[in-house]
Amino acid sequence: MRIFKRFLLMLQFLTTIPIKINLDVNEEDFGKGLVYAPVVGLVIGAILAGEYFVLSRILPQFITIVLIIISYILLTGGLHLDGLGDTFDGLFSNRSRERMLEIMRDSRVGTNAVLAIFGILAMNIAVLGSIKPDRLAFVLLLMPVAGRIGSLVGAGTSQYARRGEGLGKSFIDFCGRREVLIGNFIADLIFLAAMGWNGLGIAVFSAMSALVTAMIFSRRIGGATGDILGAVCEINQTIFLLAVCVLQNRF
């Protein structure tokens, strides 16, 4: 079935979970498959929440949270963090549009990348440490969902910024409004089931924050790239955590 194939494709691409299945896919499958990105986020979140449930009973809270963040990096292979770093290296280089795109494609890591990655990880650890322990498992469950809403919205509302091929081209070219709407509907159901009506409100907020973040980045280079989709994912997760931290006494 096409649905199952595209879901497995997203699970293979967006995580390091060992799924040794050879899939017959094309560029369209990558873009259309992003509709299942929130479900992949739920799988990642379930693993993190389960790990927290175990570790929190044998380790101090701070150490548990740090280990959870390390597990998140391992589960995703640092894919979106790499995009975050490349995006900040390029967009904050104060160069021309063409040079920004060249810097973003360069595999070398610059100062802006290091600062961005360190900053986002430090913020995630700090905010998770500020959330009440009895609610942290639900937050960890939903955090990767919020992030993948970012990638979905970013791809579905942008045009590809580069000339020629690139890692993000298939996602951006073939992910349209239909995928954005269906994917966000799936995410809304996940948030609603986990947190009730307040969760639904946070899901809508996550979609809006992703749209704004993608627009801010895309404006600098006239579109989006795969790196920008990764950056929007990571930033959207942190925005979600901040929102939950501020509103945690209301649910």
Q: Write the pLDDT tens digit of every residue in 25-65.
A: 788 888 899 999 999 999 999 999 999 999 999 999 999 99
Phi-psi label, residue 117: left if phi above 0, alpha if psi -120 to 50, beta otherwise: alpha
Q: Give 28-78 as a DSSP string.
A: HHHHHHGGGHHHHHHHHHHHHHHHHHHHTTTS-HHHHHHHHHHHHHHHHTT
Q: pTM here?
A: 0.93
* Greater model confidence, 158 or 122: 122
pLDDT confidence of 249, banded at 50, 70, 90?
A: low
What's the confidence (pLDDT) of residue 167?
Answer: 67
Range 168-178 average pLDDT:
87
Distance CA 68, CA 66 (A): 5
What pLDDT, in 10s, does the model give residues 82-120? 999 999 998 888 888 888 888 888 778 888 899 999 999
What's the structural domain count of the chain? 1
pLDDT at 248 over 90: no
Residue-range definition of the domain harbouring residue 185 = 2-250
In this model, does residue 229 exceed pLDDT 90? yes
2: exposed, middle or buried (C-beta count within 10 Å: 0-12, 13-18, 19+)? exposed
